[in-house]
Amino acid sequence: MQTQTKLEITPIASALGAEIKGANLADDHAPELIQDIRQALLDNCVIFFRDQELTPDQLVRFAKKFGSLDEHDFIHGMPDYPEVLRLVKEADEGGYNFGGGWHTDVSYMEKPSLGSLLYAVDIPLIGGDTLFANQYLAYETLTDAMKEMLDGLNCIHSALGIFDPKGVARDHFKNMNMNPNNKAEEEVAHPVVRTHPETGRKSLYVNVNFCKRLQGMTNEESQPILKFLFEHGRREIFTCRFQWKKGSVAFWDNRCVQHHALNDYQGHRREMYRVTISGDRPI
């Protein structure tokens, strides 16, 4: 058991994001240190660790300190670790990268993820950064009139178009163990404005990858509102940018953060391990 260590927490941008030193994630951490890491996540929305050496087993054990883990509906995990996804783009692959487009992980689930952890196994020599956007700030900077209109509205989420048998995953991500299926057609309604269950703060909860329309409205009525919210939620002033190195770990709160993996490393290989922590039904 590791003794309690004082964490060194350094913000990387004004909107969100902090790098943490003083924690080896492979260790069996004391509950006090896990609580400090959880608080750092709540305070900064996304936190980063450098120079980690993690096996899939160690990544799973660390992530389980924060809750049970989800298995992905459309991607098979590792044979011995079904919760761990290998996100791979080989140097000779073109087209899409996994995680491209601004999104919140698995928002199409009835109980979407609390948070995700991403561990860098193989990093391109150039490119491959990830952007994160603070959705607390996205909500708080709306006008009172817009907030009044959005409060009480629901948005319909689904994985259709990405993970269904005719979607993007069918022809791309060939070096990942994809399983596109008709479950992607299922729909779930989540509030457009979500209240965080731990901080009590409100945030926008819409994303371009999985939000299809506003509940009770036609597509024609929904799209102008959603288009505005998608663009507003990713404004530069709400974001931070993380440059990966081998052994880096990012841990972000899917309840108040969107992210976007940049696809600017053609001709280079990138491999990451990802786990997602089970969450609650948005309220």
pTM (2 decimals)?
0.96
162-180 burial, b for 16+ CB within 10 Å, e for fewer? bbbeebbbeebbebbebeb
**Residue 80 CB contacts under 8 Å (≥ 6 apart), including other chains:** 56
CB 130, CB 261: distance < 8 Å = yes
- The model's confidence at residue 5, banded by pLDDT at 50, 70 and 90, is low
Any idea where the domains of the chain sit in the sequence? 8-276
State pLDDT tens for residues 123-139: 999 999 999 999 999 99
Write out pLDDT tens, residues 169-205.
988 898 899 999 999 999 999 999 999 999 999 999 9
Tell me if residue 259 is catalytic: yes
Instruction: Please indicate whether residue 105 is annotated as part of the active site.
Output: yes
Any catalytic annotation for residue 72? no
Looking at residue 174, what is its pLDDT? 85
Note the pLDDT tens digit of each residue in 238-278: 999 999 999 999 999 999 999 999 999 999 999 999 999 99
Average pLDDT on 40-63 reads 98
Interval 15-48: pLDDT, tens: 999 999 999 999 988 899 999 999 999 999 999 9
Q: Which of 70, 105, 164, 253 is catalytic?
A: 105
Q: Is 77 helix (H, G, I), strand (E, B) or coil?
A: coil
> Cα-flanking dihedrals φ and ψ of residue 222, to 5°?
-75, -40
Average pLDDT over all residues of the chain: 96
Indicate if 76 belongs to the active site: no
Torsional class of 104: left (φ above 0), alpha (ψ -120 to 50), beta (otherwise): beta
Structure token pair of residue 205: 């909860």
Name the catalytic one among 194, 259, 269, 270.
259
Q: Which numeric CATH code is attached to 8-276?
A: 3.60.130.10
- Going by C-alpha positions, the residue among 98, 68, 104 that lies closest to residue 83 is 68
Residue 88: per-residue pLDDT: 96
